Amino acid sequence: MKALTFKRYSKSPEIGFSDISRPTLKADELLVKVHAAGLNPIDNMIPTGMFKPVLHFQLPATLGSDLAGVVTEVGSRVTRFKPGDAVFASIFDLGKGSLAEFAVVPESAAALKPANLDFVQAASMPMVGLTSWQALKERANLRAGQKVFIPAGSGGIGTFSIQLAKHLGATVATTTSTGNVELVRSLGADEVVDYKQQDFEKVLGGYDVVLGTLKGAELERTVGILKPGGKIVSLIGPLDAAFADAKRLNFFLRFVFGLMSRKIMRLARKREVTYSFLFVRPEGDQLGEIGKLLEAERIKPVIDKVFPFEKAKDALIYLAQGRSKGKVVLKML
């Protein structure tokens, strides 16, 4: 079968199409014919080796994590799905890839595709949906009446997180460029900061939660907009010692990650707020709950551009430019 693979970790990872063997199933897995696959910024980061200490692939490795498709075969212990079922899933951090004609999905990671979405729309949802759910609902325990700052509101994570936060009853602030102000307002953003015109820390204050889609000095500036007891849940780092513990990494990596997060931790303690790094995990039950919100149209997919599978490398280059409004998706069929 055809798959988009990378051969080594480097600035030139030799990304290209390869003919690989169709994967075999374990007892608790599904074989899915992939109809569409969503792209995420980390798909461009993984081949560089940026996450090599914590993400493990056997090279050459198939890229991608989000998919929607039809089950063609099930393992002997699978009970929730059958051949012919339309499903969507994230297989991130499982050593597998979704940018292929077929993908293996653990039963625990899959959910039935929302009936009102086509495969392209469904494939755009898993990573951003699970990340937003685990950051806002699970880690931050965002509640009705609270205030959350979600930077970069027109991106893939932003467009979903704004809608989820509004569903949870929160007041939402975001940043975006002038041309995307109406988009983020239409998704539910209550306060919109045009980052080309204003610095968010001079406008916002008294927030309960920050969704950390910023890095470096910009992330550190978010500490100042939080009230005491507030929370920063970062999606892009710095990685922290608690993450190393959760991943059961060795003492050296725990020490390194502790050093990497030392400054933001110090700033957070001074402000009496907390900082943590979140690495999304596949979770079919949560994806099923997200599917219910999608079917009820409480949350709607926002898709910027759809590429045919044979243009996958072009799609990754486009995504890397960082200007997409919502998600970039590959259509296989």
Q: Break the chain into its structural domains and give their ranges.
A: 2-124+301-331, 128-277
90-119 confidence digits (pLDDT tens): 999 998 999 999 999 999 999 999 999 999
For residue 108, the model assigns a pLDDT of: 98
Q: What share of the chain is helix, strand, coil (3-state, %, to 5)?
A: 35, 25, 40
Range in 233-242, 281-290, 292-301 the model is least confident about: 233-242
Q: Give the pLDDT band (50/70/90) at residue 58.
A: confident
CATH number of 2-124+301-331: 3.90.180.10
Least confident of 37-46, 48-57, 178-187: 48-57
Structure tokens at 264: 């933001």
Which of 74-88, 138-152, 164-178, 243-257 has the weakest average pLDDT? 243-257
In the prediction, which pLDDT does 306 show?
A: 98
Residue whose entry in the numeric block shows the structure tokens 């707020």 = 273
Least confident range of 50-54, 116-120, 131-135, 221-225: 50-54
Q: Which of 39, 161, 137, 37 is nearest to 89 (CA)?
A: 37
Mean pLDDT of 306-332: 95
Helix runs in the chain, H state only: 42-45, 119-123, 126-132, 156-167, 181-187, 216-222, 241-246, 251-260, 262-271, 284-295, 312-320
Per-residue model confidence (pLDDT) at position 250 = 83
pLDDT, residue 257, reads: 85
* Other C-beta atoms lying within 10 Å of the C-beta of residue 325: 20
Flag whether the pTM goes above 0.75. Answer: yes
Rounded Cα distance between 176 and 230, Å, is 23
Least confident of 138-142, 161-165, 215-219: 215-219
Q: Within 10 A of 269 (CB to CB), how many other CB atoms are there?
A: 12
Report the mean per-residue pLDDT for the chain.
Answer: 94
pLDDT of the residue at 259: 84
Q: What are phi and psi of 212, to 5 degrees?
A: -80, 90
Q: What average pLDDT does the segment 4-30 reach?
A: 92
pLDDT at 236: 87
Mean pLDDT of 200-225: 94
pLDDT value of position 228: 97
What secondary structure letter does DSSP report for 20?
Answer: -
At 244 the pLDDT is 84
In the predicted structure, residue 318 carries a pLDDT above the cut 90 = yes
Q: Return the sign of the alpha-carbon dihedral for residues 235, 172, 266, 201.
A: positive
117 within 8 A of 38, measured Cβ to Cβ:
no
Instruction: Answer yes or no: are the C-beta atoms of 62 and 4 closer than 8 Å.
Output: yes
In terms of Cβ atoms closer than 10 Å to its own Cβ (0-12, 13-18, 19+), residue 213 is: buried
Residue 332, Ramachandran bin (φ over 0: left; ψ between -120 and 50: alpha; else beta): alpha
At the top level of CATH, which class does the domain 128-277 belong to? alpha beta
**pLDDT confidence of residue 253:** 84
The pLDDT score that the predictor gives to residue 240 is 86
pLDDT of residue 33: 98
